Amino acid sequence: MGLLFWRAKPVPVVELRGVIAGRQGALNIQGVGPLLERGFAIAKASAHKRLILAIESPGGSPVQSDLIGRFIRRRAEESGVRVTAVIGDVGASGGYWIACAADEIRANPMSIVGSIGVIGGGFGVPRLLEKLDIDRRVYTAGQNKSRNDPFSPEKPEDVAFTQALLTDLHGHFKDWVRGRRGAKLTRPESELFDGSYMIGSKAQAAGLIDALGDVDGLLREIGGAKARATWLKPKRKTGLVMRLLGRGAEAAAAEMAEVWQARAEFRKP
């Protein structure tokens, strides 16, 4: 009886941490899909049927954000499990997109929440090439194949094209938040969907989150004082150099690489 009693208490908590990107080691559906599957299986077999998402992400890839969010919704509807997202330091842009997949969102009063917008950009260096007396040679089939070439002067038609792309992505983001949060939103969309972010206490007042709290408090609420978390985290693969430098350096290097790689992202500026 004692063994069965303790088996009923653990609550699955899936960690969703880091920049959202398709590359290995980042937050993406390939990495967290198996963890979510296991979390839903544990929750479905339990008496409470609850799953917690511990979110720490400034955002990243729109595609991966959508894949993770829709995966969570499908499994939740199929299993009858109630999902609660708990935002830690930050759940912004793509991180907030994923949080919206939950049935309920909680955050710390000082968490960074929101940033419902899309950002893209890069650098232009045509004057540098001219100064260095370097000729740029590029050959394409298709007049727009070299659109937004950083080594050529910016073209108005390229700016218009890029802005239209970002606007389309922003529209998908807004539709997702409307569909998931609906009547819970208490402030005008012009204020909530302008790409800015806010702390958790204001996010609660605006309807972006449902309550203030943390994982430990939610565990007690679900299973009482004896509740325990079954944490499901991705395995971190660290090379020798990064192990010598430390985990902080590894994370910083990965995030910097992602900033240079990304062109249009659900990411906090």
Residue 248: pLDDT band with limits 50, 70, 90: very low
What is the C-alpha separation between 36 and 42, in angstroms, rounded?
Answer: 10
Question: What pLDDT does 266 receive?
Answer: 62
* Residues near 208 by beta carbon (within 8 Å), at least 6 away in sequence: 96, 105, 113, 114, 181, 185, 192, 198
Number of domains into which the chain is organized? 1
**Which pTM value belongs to this model?**
0.84
Specify the range with the lowest mean pLDDT, choosing from 21-25, 140-144, 240-244.
240-244
Q: Which of 74, 26, 86 shows the shortest CA–CA distance to 212?
A: 86
Q: Which residue would you say has higher pLDDT here, 51 or 154? A: 51
Confidence of residue 247 (pLDDT cuts 50, 70, 90): very low
Q: Which of 94, 79, 4, 5 is closest to 36 using CA atoms?
A: 79
Higher pLDDT, 15 or 121: 15
Mean pLDDT of 224-234: 90
Query: If you average pLDDT over residues 138-142, what whole number do you get?
Result: 87
CATH number at residue 22: 3.90.226.10
Domain membership of residue 234 as a residue range: 2-267
pLDDT tens for 191-217 read: 999 999 999 999 999 999 999 999 999
DSSP letters, 88-123, are EEEEETHHHHHHTTSSEEEE-TT-EEE--S-EE---
Average pLDDT, integer, range 158-175: 93
